[in-house]
Structure 1
């Protein structure tokens, strides 16, 4: 009796995409045509409801030399969040990511910023982090002093004016500090740690930093988005100031929002 069992077929390698970001905020994805099943590259927003607004379908077109290409123009809306990339039902792996145009980018949008940043997930897949902030307070230099930190930055989509203040928020608690405005949307404010340490610190506190451009203006979250770093939390680490009964330091969240962390 002959053995008709053939050699096991190795599973096809996952599709891999190289990404290029352009100055306008668009993204281009290049994939090998061989083994790329499906006519579109699909971006699905993580944690979404699964409706049409949580999926963006980008046609794959021939790009020469055995490759296909999908383009996400800056003009196509992409809601804030994390978008995983698929071809068919197969997750896409990250290839080369050319993000040079995102470094020190100066947006020209009149009402704020839109940022699309491709990145590798912890389990090796390709995703796009999208931010939509209108207006947006971009954190720049953070200067550490004795018991204080001074945040400098640029406000896009609004201008700091009379009555501008910075706000530190923890749940329903708010602490306010004077903010200065300058040319081209420049702002600066200083946060004294001891004000955030009252009453005595018995557990970790993560105070969110916001900028209110004027007395009647809505507050704007202070973040750092205009470069190629998709998760600043463990990259930008600042020295801890030791106060009486607490430690304090500025920090970023995984969404690149700026905070001040207090610990007992």
Structure 2
């Protein structure tokens, strides 16, 4: 379609992105031309990032988002402001080379981990999914077995110490457990096996089934690096998949329990966080 602006995206191993555009034939770009990123759902000027957009060969324009530029966690829409006095124009996705993001292994002691993955929205426009976390627990290999879920991963921005453990937290409110108003959500904890910054744990399914309160229950997975430390969400961010909930699936297995047979299995949330869904037996209708 005439007038379309497409951006090719190239990733580097540090997490930076380069955007290459073909300039429209009638474009007269100026020094103020910029690639504009706007955080979805927020109109504030503080949630807009402008990257200089300059010539890069005949008829081509380039903007660079270095890994050192922090983007708030969320979804950012991409626009081109050619400095011609018009409103910035939405960009369409071009050809992506995101191979350096696959198997990316940042320094374990990094304070905050920034991840940006370009993708096409449901309307076909270019956007970035951004995460900014510190510390961060990166999920690696996941083994689904009848007795439970085994997760291996790596901790960034913190070192496991005494009292380190994994926690599964029910997403339901404490009131659903019959707990006092000040109590936290139902939680199942298991110890970590640690080697340096790498960790492994196995979460028994039967413990989750024993705490079932009805329906399909999601349990979020966290890692507490040490006794008294702030818990860290376990997620899979270091690859080129912006939406694992749609792209990655694991089997849900039957788990026998006193209340009947449950179905339990892991999944990734909308934010690529790791969770477990516990589906209990159907309860007979009243009366």
TM-score of the aligned structures, taking structure 2 as reference length: 0.83
Q: Deviations over 1:25-72 (max 9, x none)?
A: 211101111166862111000122x22321001121001121111111
The equivalent of 2:195 in structure 1 is 183
Measure how far apart 1:239 and its partner are: 1.0
Please give the alpha-carbon distance, in whole angstroms, between the structure 2 residues aligned to 1:96 and 1:247. 41
The more displaced of 55-64 and 83-92 is 83-92
Gaps of 5+ in 1: 1-10
Could you tell me whether the CA contact under 8 Å between 2:16 and 2:65 is conserved in 1?
yes
Could you tell me whether the CA contact under 8 Å between 2:10 and 2:98 is conserved in 1?
yes
Query: How many residues are paired up?
Result: 253
Please give the alpha-carbon distance, in whole angstroms, between the structure 2 residues aligned to 1:249 and 1:237. 9
Q: Aligned in 2, Cα 1:238/1:37: closer, same or farther, shift over 3 Å?
A: farther
- Residue 267 (structure 2) pairs with residue 251 (structure 1): yes
- Residue 121 (structure 2) pairs with residue 121 (structure 1): yes
The more displaced of 25-34 and 190-199 is 190-199
- Give matches, 1:223-262, under 5 Å: 223-243=235-255, 244-262=260-278
The more displaced of 211-220 and 244-253 is 244-253
The equivalent of 2:145 in structure 1 is 145
- Residue 218 (structure 2) pairs with residue 206 (structure 1): yes
Measure how far apart 1:74 and its partner are: 1.4
Measure how far apart 1:19 and its partner are: 0.4
The equivalent of 1:263 in structure 2 is 279
TM-score of the aligned structures, taking structure 1 as reference length: 0.90
Measure how far apart 1:110 and its partner are: 2.1
- Helix, strand or coil at the partner of 1:197: helix
- Residue 113 (structure 2) pairs with residue 97 (structure 1): no
The equivalent of 1:16 in structure 2 is 6
- Residue 24 (structure 2) pairs with residue 34 (structure 1): yes
Could you tell me whether the CA contact under 8 Å between 2:21 and 2:62 is conserved in 1?
yes
The equivalent of 1:195 in structure 2 is 207
Q: Give the alignment's Cα RMSD to 1 decimal.
A: 1.8
The more displaced of 244-253 and 106-115 is 106-115
Runs of 4+ in 1 over 4 A off after TM superposition: 35-38
Measure how far apart 1:245 and its partner are: 3.4
Could you tell me whether the CA contact under 8 Å between 1:201 and 1:263 is conserved in 2?
no
- Helix, strand or coil at the partner of 1:115: strand
Gaps of 5+ in 2: 81-86, 172-183, 281-287
